[in-house]
Structure 1
């Protein structure tokens, strides 16, 4: 078995780069100081690279994005204020137009009412004038008719008396006095 063990050991050493001793180099305690040195050098180089090149670029990109976002927000705020002002202006114009339309409607209604009142007043005046003329005409006709009633009554009385007594009719003065006495 010792030959198998030496074969196995020889294949194992060949598989690890030909070193004898059998430990994986990062775990070999004899190489720790050089590994720590290279770790410090590599860390220092990465730190310098990050602090001098990468992080300033990333910071610049972030600052640009922040500025662009702030500018976009300011523009959006300005546009919002403009749109609110436009809406307020539109609503004010609409309210003014409604008020003007209401005023015009009231004025038109008042003008129509005034015109109607004037036409009615004129028609009433014309009707009152025609009525006064008609009443005056009726009074004249009535006065004329009443004046003729006495004459007609006197003539009728003369004719009735003539027919009743068969003689001569009484005089006009006598007939007028008789009619006047009856009418009182």
Structure 2
């Protein structure tokens, strides 16, 4: 056991000496004798990373950027082409709409004129028919009036004969009574 204790004490002393050495030198990166190997490995690491970046990573990044630029250019060209097609289709639509409006206006005007002529023709026919019916009615009224006036004279003559016979016992003929009655034109 004493051997173990002695060895443990030796190890403890070695550790203490290492700590003392380490404390006296400060940071290992700032230890002047270690600058040359650190600079060498820094240069080797930098050159190696630069070579890897220039040969592997940067070409891939460049390809991605170039692909993106090409895709954007294709999309812009397609958008410009579609815009042109849309403008052309819009102009065609507006022209067709204008033509349709003009055609509809002409058709409406033609239909209005035809209907107006037809209405005028029908109105003239109805007016002629009404004028004919009015003339027929006036003629019928005149004939009825003449007939009625003639009948009135006959009735008046019969009435006068009857009244004179009843009142005076004088025999008067119907012709004498009719001649004695004044006509409507005598007034």
Q: TM-score, normalised by structure 2?
A: 0.58
Kept in 1: contact 2:160–2:177 (CA 8 A): yes
Match of 2:51 in 1: 48
**How big is the shift at 1:128?**
2.9
Comparing 100-109 and 71-80, the one that deviates more? 100-109
Match of 1:65 in 2: 68
Question: Over residues 58-86 of structure 1, what are the superposed CA-to-partner deviations in whole Å (9 max), with x where a residue is unaligned?
Answer: 12222212322443355456557766876
Q: Which runs of 5+ in 2 are unaligned?
A: 1-6
Question: Over residues 81-138 of structure 1, what are the superposed CA-to-partner deviations in whole Å (9 max), with x where a residue is unaligned?
Answer: 7668768877887898789778878877876676566545533432332222021011
**How big is the shift at 1:181?**
8.0
Question: Over residues 31-70 of structure 1, what are the superposed CA-to-partner deviations in whole Å (9 max), with x where a residue is unaligned?
Answer: 3223323322332232233234321221222221232244
> 177, 180, 186: which is aligned to 1:178?
180
**How big is the shift at 1:160?**
3.1
- Write the distance in 1 (CA, Å) between the matches of 2:101 and 2:83: 27
- Write the distance in 2 (CA, Å) between the matches of 1:57 and 1:167: 153
- Write the distance in 2 (CA, Å) between the matches of 1:5 and 1:92: 107
- Write the distance in 1 (CA, Å) between the matches of 2:11 and 2:35: 30
Match of 2:164 in 1: 161
Q: Which runs of 5+ in 1 are unaligned?
A: 16-20
Tell me the number of residue pairs that the alignment of Structure 1 and Structure 2 aligns: 175
Alignment of 1:114-129 (within 5 A): 118-119=121-122, 121-129=124-132
Change beyond 3 A, Cα 1:72–1:12: farther
**How big is the shift at 1:140?**
1.2
The alignment yields a C-alpha RMSD, in angstroms, of 4.7
- Write the distance in 1 (CA, Å) between the matches of 2:53 and 2:178: 151
Kept in 1: contact 2:153–2:178 (CA 8 A): yes
Kept in 2: contact 1:161–1:170 (CA 8 A): no
Q: Secondary structure at the match of 1:180?
A: coil
